[in-house]
Amino acid sequence: MAKPNKKSPTRTVDIFCAKCKAQLFKYRKGGKGALVKCFKERIVEDYTKLACTCPGCGQLFARDTLVRGTPAFKIVGGKVTFK
């Protein structure tokens, strides 16, 4: 399987909790599709205290996993929004 692009995308998006609207990440997202996974190497700023847990309401919004051999967070559907 292919690895994620070596050259990181230039567009950054802010990722928020869907429940309490607390900011979770500033992330370099490629493409225009839905947010399914976040590669850890592309996270610019991390506002969470515990991995995969919202700092505002404490809900679990992702799972820590490997995607194509690269560490990533697999987003649970409907738990986050991004702008």
Q: Is residue 34 part of a domain?
A: yes
Enumerate residues 6+ apart whose C-beta is below 8 A from 62. 38, 52, 73, 74, 75, 76, 79, 80
Q: Is residue 44 part of a domain?
A: yes
| Residue 35, domain extent | 12-82
Using pLDDT thresholds of 50, 70 and 90, give the confidence band for residue 71.
Answer: very high
**Residue 80 confidence (pLDDT):** 97
Domains: count for the chain: 1
List pLDDT tens digits, range 9-45. 889 999 999 999 999 999 999 989 999 999 999 999 9
Q: Is residue 31 part of a domain?
A: yes
3-state secondary structure of 42: helix
Q: Is residue 4 part of a domain?
A: no
**Residue 3 confidence (pLDDT):** 75
Q: Is residue 36 part of a domain?
A: yes
Residue 45, burial from CB neighbour count under 10 angstroms (0-12, 13-18, 19+):
exposed
List pLDDT tens digits, range 44-53. 999 999 999 9
Q: Is residue 1 part of a domain?
A: no
**Residue 55 confidence (pLDDT):** 96
Give the whole-angstrom CA distance, residue 35 versus residue 40: 14
